[in-house]
Amino acid sequence: NAGVTQTPKFRVLKTGQSMTLLCAQDMNHEYMYWYRQDPGMGLRLIHYSVGEGTTAKGEVPDGYNVSRLKKQNFLLGLESAAPSQTSVYFCASSLAGVFTDTQYFGPGTRLTVL
Amino acid sequence: AQSVTQLDSHVSVSEGTPVLLRCNYSSSYSPSLFWYVQHPNKGLQLLLKYTSAATLVKGINGFEAEFKKSETSFHLTKPSAHMSDAAEYFCVVSGNKLVFGAGTILRVKS
């Protein structure tokens, strides 16, 4: 039981490049989330999903897209990376009650945009 | 609307002394409240959770927190700090969304 895994762990992009971050969970959780963490700001929600085939915007969705084609996977895409997107990205999942149930976090992806 | 304020960005204690990490919240709902811990270069791990049952919540690794509605506080405590407690701690309030505090970095001196 791996819990929540994220790939890649580290990535360096040039401005304008695109990339996809992959999140996978093996706990059969219904809800999945993408956050970004910046110093002194805690975690901020980018997008979330309440089930396979559904996505919704969080607090800071601009510049990101997501897809949840399979229940166990939640992809975060950057179409044209900008230096402001340099951050640590965390994926999380929860079994029940979006925003009210315990969330289980992956180890994070450290992204640098030059 | 919900908000959460962690009153200290950094806390330093000596090993074996008590730990107090302070958190105040506001919420239009009956909130769920969480404390998460993040060790360096790791993801967040749940320490404890309050969901309107007992006001004193016990978590993992000897941590506990008390929900005080009159003071809108949810402070995290531990009687005796251990070196392995050094990490960043986040207070989180939920209602119609999840709001994270800015974090408190706990340093434990030997």
Chain B residue with Cα closest to A48: B97
Strands A19-25 and A73-78 come out as: antiparallel
CB contact under 8 A, A105 and B44: yes
**Which of B44, B46, B50, B104 best tests the A interface by mutation, with the highest count of A CBs <10 A?**
B44
Helix or strand or coil: residue B104?
Answer: strand
Residues of A with CB under 8 A from a CB of B: 4, 40-45, 58-59, 90, 92, 99-100, 102-108
- For chain A, percent of residues with pLDDT exceeding 70: 100
Polymer length in residues for chain B = 110
Given this model, what pLDDT does residue A23 score? 97
Q: Do B100 and A43 touch (CB under 8 A)?
A: yes
User: Does residue B83 sit in helix, strand or coil?
Assistant: helix
* Tokens found for residue A29: 């959780």
**Mean pLDDT of the A4-12 span:** 96
Question: Would you give per-residue pLDDT tens digits along chain B (110 residues)?
Answer: 789 999 999 999 999 999 999 999 998 777 889 999 999 888 899 999 998 778 899 999 999 999 999 999 999 999 999 999 999 999 999 877 889 999 999 999 99
Q: CB–CB of B1/B22 below 8 Å?
A: no
Q: List the alpha helices (DSSP H) in chain A.
A: none
Please tell me the distance from the alpha carbon of residue B12 to that of residue B19, in angstroms, as a whole number: 9
Partners of A105 in the β-ladder: A92
Interior/surface letters A74-109, b for 16+ CB within 10 angstroms, e for the rest: bbbebeebeeebbbbbbbbbbeeebbbbbbbbbbbb
The strand pairing partners of B94, in sequence order, are: B32, B98
Cα–Cα distance for residue pair B108/B110, rounded to 1 Å: 7
- Specify whether the CB–CB gap between A31 and A50 falls below 8 A: yes
A36, A88 Cβ separation under 8 angstroms: yes
With a cut of 80, say whether residue A85 has pLDDT above it: yes
How far apart are the C-alpha atoms of B30 and A28, rounded to whole Å? Answer: 28
Categorize the per-residue pLDDT at A97 as very low, low, confident or very high, splitting at 50, 70 and 90. confident
